[in-house]
């Protein structure tokens, strides 16, 4: 799927923010969504400009239809697993930590239990 095809498909659809990140990281996630035929668009968040304390780097939301949230979650989890396998980390074969009840978030790596089915750090809906 191309960016133009995604824009056309989402033109009249309700979209919700799914993942927030810096521009380089979120573009990579957008490309992965499009490659998996998940229509997605980017939306810039409000910046914490000089008048609001510390200036910060711009954050971008990846927005998808609510029904596509589980697809994005599955795609990101598969990518995360693939990276673990490529690097040979966090597997019993290499002596890494064993499977646990609360694996880290596949989007941001935050440890710990979910809060209402979402990552406490980045808000990725995982359940």
Q: Where are the domains of the chain?
A: 3-94
Which letter does DSSP use for residue 118 in this model? B
**Longest Cα–Cα distance in the chain:** 51
Confidence (pLDDT) at 36: 93
Fold for 3-94, please state it.
Answer: Alpha-Beta Plaits (3.30.70)
pTM: 0.62
Full pLDDT tens readout for the chain, 127 residues: 999 999 899 999 999 999 988 888 999 999 999 999 999 999 987 666 555 555 666 789 999 999 999 999 999 988 888 887 877 666 455 445 445 566 777 777 777 777 777 888 788 876 5
């Amino acid at each position: 799927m191309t960016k133009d095809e995604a824009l056309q498909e989402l033109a009249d659809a309700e979209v919700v923010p799914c993942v927030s990140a810096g521009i380089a990281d979120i573009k990579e996630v957008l490309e992965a969504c499009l490659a998996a035929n998940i229509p997605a668009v980017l939306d810039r968040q409000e910046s914490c400009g000089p008048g609001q304390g510390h200036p910060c780097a711009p954050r971008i939301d990846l927005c998808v239809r609510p029904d596509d949230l589980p697809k994005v979650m599955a795609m990101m989890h598969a990518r995360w697993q693939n990276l673990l396998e490529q690097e040979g980390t966090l597997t019993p074969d290499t002596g890494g930590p064993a499977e646990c009840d609360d694996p880290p978030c596949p989007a941001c790596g935050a440890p710990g239990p979910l809060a209402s089915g979402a990552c406490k750090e980045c808000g990725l809906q995982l359940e």
